[in-house]
Structure 1
Amino acid sequence: MVVVGVSTFAYSSVTEENFENVKTGHLPKTWKSAATNAERTTAVWEVVETKEPFRGKKVLSLSAFDEGYGGSFNLCYTNDVSFKDGEISVWFKANNGKIDQGGGIMWRVQDKDTYYVARFNPLEDNFRFYSVINGDRKKLYSADVHLEKGWHLMKIIQKGSHFEGFLNGKKLLSYDNDAIKKSGGVGVWTKADAATSFDDFTVKDDK
């Protein structure tokens, strides 16, 4: 496969998780839930059967969270896929949240406190890149964008220190940062009480 822009190379491996073969109430094998800056309990992630099937009957959802604290980041990721350069995409739907809404993709995950994240927030109408280093989140790049309620496709492309962010096929973010140089895990991310569903998580890796 050959794509355009920073990804003008053939991907050596493709990993897909559509959650259809995962037992309801569980996570895919090798995936785990964690939190950055949690004050009390870690949020609960699980595969659920959706009442409004979109691309399949099952999705990954944040089902319980710490309602009293807005500074925690809810993580669900796997280290079984070691990602450095390539492309990651996921369909997402912001369900609700009073403090925060939305979420996105995390990659080059070193541990629960160090990773990159791209996220969309419908309360703020923006799409952003962040680095999280030892629990400290730093905004790298932001674009104003409004999305209607429902399912949307997010994608990031990374090669070396350069990465780009897309929503529904439109490139909105482009940035260079080398704070995290090593390959790492991949997954999904929300903040505070942002209850979000994810589906068709796909990693195209340039090993």
Structure 2
Amino acid sequence: MIRLLCLALATSNYVLAAESRETFDRSTQLPQGWQNGITGQGRAKWEVISEQSAPSKPNVLRQSGEATFAWAAKMDAAIKDGFVEVKIKPVSGHEDQAGGIIWRAKDANNYYIVRANALEGNVVLYKTVEGKRSSLPVKGRMFGYGVDAKVPSGKWSTLRVEFSGKLFTVYFNGEKLFEVEDETFSDAGGVGVWTKADSVTLFDDFVFAGKQ
């Protein structure tokens, strides 16, 4: 279900005009305007399924295929500055148990991504350029690999990124974790969700808004 909430939310010196929420409850297909694909090799398997633990019942979006990176996105969202938030539940995976958010997506090979990984116990922000992913340093640190965080397997967590210009702010379960600055992608683009390798991950309550 998508609903538009008219609001005027002042945050980080910009105003968000409307919020869109997707709860994946209207049908068993990907929502209208959404696309899915992979970056790299493999095969994605995105399904809208019934899930007893869903934060907004009855359905969730599940990715259970195996691919270098699998993504599903609303590519026509055309958001430059704003936020994206989603609830994630890592279910299984021997190589990875990851779920993330993509934004300013141009196509299958060019986008920003922040992901939480239950096996590694961290949250990391990357850029993917021409299909090659590279981590971006946390603001105030020259080196390092994201931020350590308790990412539970088999439980729901909330991941959020706010983006304005070159500044990105990452939150996990309501706590601000870190900021990143980067100018690789400055134009508006699509927003969506992402997994890696053999991760089986559930998503629900996908919320986003752009600058007015």
Common fold by TM > 0.5: yes
Q: In the alignment, what sits opposite 1:170? A: 175
Q: How does 1:6-155 map to 2 (within 5 A)?
A: 7-21=12-26, 23-24=27-28, 26-38=29-41, 40=42, 42-66=43-67, 72-141=68-137, 142-149=146-153, 150-155=155-160
- The letter for the 2-side match of 1:154 is L
Residues in 1 aligned to 2:178 and 2:108: alpha-carbon distance in whole angstroms: 24
Paired with 2:189 and 2:14, the residues of 1 have a C-alpha distance of: 20
Q: Distance in 2 between matches of 1:65 and 1:15?
A: 29
In structure 2, what is the Cα distance between the partners aligned to 1:147 and 1:194? 14
Matches of 1:53 and 1:181, distance apart in 2:
34
Q: Deviations over 1:161-204 (max 9, x none)?
A: 00010001111120110001111001000101111111111111
Q: Cα deviations across residues 20-51 of structure 1 (Å, max 9, x unaligned)?
A: 11x22x2111111100011x4x2110111003
How far has the Cα of 1:55 moved from its partner? 2.3
Q: In 1, are the aligned partners of 2:66 and 2:198 still within 8 Å (CA)? A: yes
Residue aligned with 1:52, SS: coil
Structure 1 residue 57, shift from structure 2 partner: 0.8
Task: Give the superposition deviation at 1:104.
Answer: 0.8
TM-score normalised per structure 1: 0.90
Greater share of residues in strand: 2
| 2:122–2:151 contact (8 Å) kept in structure 1 | no
Give the Cα separation in 2 of the matches to 1:102 and 1:18: 20
State whether structure 2 residue 186 is matched by structure 1 residue 181. yes
What one-letter code is carried by the residue in structure 2 that aligns with 1:124? Answer: E
Residue by residue, what CA displacement relative to the aligned partner does 1:35-88 show, whole Å, maximum 9, x if unpaired? 0011x4x2110111003233221001103325xxxxx10011111211110111
| Preserved CA contact (<8 Å) 1:108 1:184 | yes
**Inter-partner Cα distance in structure 2 for 1:10 and 1:102:** 31
Q: 2:3 aligns to what? A: none
After TM superposition, give the deviation of residue 3 of structure 1 in Å. Answer: 4.6
Moved over 6 A (4+): none
Please provide the CA RMSD for this pair: 1.3
Q: For structure 2, which runs of at least 5 residues remain unmatched after alignment?
A: 1-7, 138-145
- The equivalent of 2:197 in structure 1 is 192
